[in-house]
Amino acid sequence: MRTYDTVVFDLDGTLLNTLEDLADAVNYALGEMGMPKRTIAEVREFVGNGVRRLMELSVPGGFDNPAFEETFAKFREYYGIHCNDKTRAYDGILELLRGLKKDGYALAIVSNKLDSAVKELNELYFEGIVEVAIGEREGVARKPAPDTVFAALRELGRAPETAVYVGDSDVDIMTAKNAGLPCISVLWGFRDRPFLEAHGAGYFAGTPDDVRKFLE
């Protein structure tokens, strides 16, 4: 009898490389408002806590900037249209998910990305494979709160005791801890191993195959 029957995945930096589309949306909004643009490296550091936090860090002065809300609205509008221009699944991810699905694992995505974008990207890349996809939405605390993880498990009809969380960031490590799930930290995403180790990571996956090995 297997120990785990459910795998909950982060999206950005874990299943999909979304960095360029996020950076393009950030820089479109900043450019429209006459603000200095951000580098890919800066956007990589800023992602993980939802798009509002991403824009808080990207806009000079953050929330205190009187033009913040207008800039954020421009980001949301642009990203809603262009969220899949350059995004792609990481090598080996589709094979991993298909294999897990075939072997009876329940699969979910939980992200701090906008809920509409999470659902759209799940349909584009993982339709028929990942059953539940949840993003940031009104009235539900975002990661690292465990609320969206528990919501996904309820939709799947699975218990936290038999679930594993897979992510690429410090936010994911804390999310798993708060939900009482073991966390597999992937090394192909937006954070490197020393950073993850410094934030308490205990299990690492250098390739998608390593995720499978943990489950076996």
Distance CA(151)–CA(210), nearest Å, equals 26
- Which candidate in 10, 21, 24, 170 is catalytic? 10
Q: Which two tokens stand for residue 169?
A: 């960031």
Least Cα distance to 108 among 207, 175, 49, 200 occurs for 175
The backbone region for 192, taken as left when phi is positive above 0, alpha when psi lies in -120 to 50, beta otherwise, is beta
Distance CA(55)–CA(174), nearest Å, equals 22
Contact call for residues 108 and 8 (beta carbons, < 8 A): yes
Q: Specify whether 115 is catalytic.
A: no
Least Cα distance to 10 among 176, 168, 180 occurs for 168
- How many Cα atoms within 13 Å fall on the side-chain side of residue 91? 4
- Please give the full DSSP string across 111-129, using - where no structure is assigned: EEEEHHHHHHHHHHHHTTT
* Active-site amino acid positions: 10
